[in-house]
A = this chain, B = another copy of it.
Amino acid sequence: MTGLGIIAGGGELPRAVAQSARADGRAVFIIGLKGSLDENEPWLQAFPHEFASLGAPGQAFKSFRAASVTDVLLAGKLDRPRFSDLKLDAKGVMLLPRALKAARQGDDALLRFVVTMFEEEGFHAIGVAEAAPGLVCSEGDLGRLGPNDDARADMARGFAIVKALGALDVGQAAVVCEGLTLAVEAAEGTDRMIARIGTLREALRGTPENKRGVLVKALKPTQDARTDMPVIGTATLEAAAAAGLAGIALEAGGALIMDKQAVAGRADALGLFVTGVRL
């Protein structure tokens, strides 16, 4: 098997993908994105890696080639750069006009541009589903619990909202509780969106003692599954429990679960459901 190059942004996904791919026997080389991934992440030390900025991709191309990387994968949260602050290398100067144009079209367009940039250098862009198939959410309940009728109605509403928003390249997540949309994700990210549920009046939402409402995550229709699939992990589950939610519903085949066994165990312990729905 040839080498897998991971262009790694923030969050837990790059670690999960790197560890899963290595467990499958692949050689992994990581380019951390400056400003998006912390250079001192402990897990990084177990992998050959270096850091690059979006404005200076030349060195990344060279390093991937030196490490016999053929397949590349973009994983994790990409912090939008301030283009005026970017230090550019020769490749970066050439690519900048297209990068600026893509950035103006939204997050997905920018991510697609980064992927295209590597493809034009001869790398083969793959998605997480291919690099680490064990992370992809499948259909049905992950733990012991499943959604009740209220939760199913909220899930249907939540998926409709996320797909409508996704078509406009807004977010991947929403929280619905008994017909009322409590929160919709935009640039703040899922964790902070969940955190604000707990600040709403208690009449609108559940509590850890009386769980109500569902976090829904799904792939944006505009989204390239190679770049930015929605992800949950145990931290998402803990946040959902603290916010009084009854469970989490994901698009089967369109979302990732980091460490399924741990998530299933915590879901059972906390009394939440985690379920995959084929849309």
Residue on B with the closest CB to A183? B186
Bound complex: CA A178 to CA B109 (Å): 13
Residue on B with the closest CB to A167? B164
A105: shortest Cβ distance to chain B, in Å? 6
Q: Is the CB of A106 within 8 A of B168?
A: no
Chain B positions within 8 Å of A178 at CB level? 103-104
Bound complex: CA A192 to CA B175 (Å): 17
Bound complex: CA A171 to CA B183 (Å): 9
Q: Which of A97-151 contact B (CB under 8 A)?
A: 103-107
Task: State whether the Cβ of A250 lies closer than 8 Å to any Cβ in chain B.
Answer: no
Bound complex: CA A178 to CA B174 (Å): 23
A271: shortest Cβ distance to chain B, in Å? 21
Question: Using a Cβ–Cβ cut-off of 8 Å, how many residues does chain A contribute to the interface with B?
Answer: 41
In the complex, per-residue mask of A163-194: 1 if CB is within 8 Å of any chain B CB, else 0: 01101111100110011111111111000100
Bound complex: CA A81 to CA B202 (Å): 10
Residue on B with the closest CB to A200? B187
Task: State whether the Cβ of A91 lies closer than 8 Å to any Cβ in chain B.
Answer: no
Chain B positions within 8 Å of A199 at CB level? 188
Task: State whether the Cβ of A160 lies closer than 8 Å to any Cβ in chain B.
Answer: yes
Chain B positions within 8 Å of A171 at CB level? 181, 184
Q: Is the CB of B164 within 8 A of A203?
A: no
Given A165-B165, A201-B79, A188:B196 Cβ within 8 A: yes
Q: Is the CB of B179 within 8 A of A187?
A: no
Task: State whether the Cβ of A161 lies closer than 8 Å to any Cβ in chain B.
Answer: yes
**Most chain B beta-carbon neighbours within 10 Å: one of A80, A157, A181:** A181
Task: State whether the Cβ of A62 lies closer than 8 Å to any Cβ in chain B.
Answer: no
Bound complex: CA A229 to CA B277 (Å): 36
Chain B positions within 8 Å of A181 at CB level? 106, 168-171, 186-187
Chain B positions within 8 Å of A183 at CB level? 186-188
Interface residue from B81, B107, B161 paired with A170 (Cβ < 8 Å): B161
In the complex, per-residue mask of A185-228: 1 if CB is within 8 Å of any chain B CB, else 0: 11110001000100111011000000000000000000000000
A-B contacts, 18 of them at CB < 8 A, read A80-B180, A81-B203, A82-B203, A85-B203, A104-B153, A104-B178, A157-B168, A161-B168, A165-B184, A175-B186, A181-B187, A183-B186, A183-B187, A183-B188, A184-B185, A184-B186, A187-B204, A188-B196
List residues of A whose CB falls within 8 A of some B CB. 79-82, 85, 103-107, 153, 157, 160-161, 164-165, 167-171, 174-175, 178-188, 192, 196, 199-201, 203-204
Give the 8 A-B residue pairs with the shortest CB-CB distance, closest first: A82-B203, A184-B184, A182-B187, A170-B181, A104-B179, A184-B186, A181-B186, A183-B186
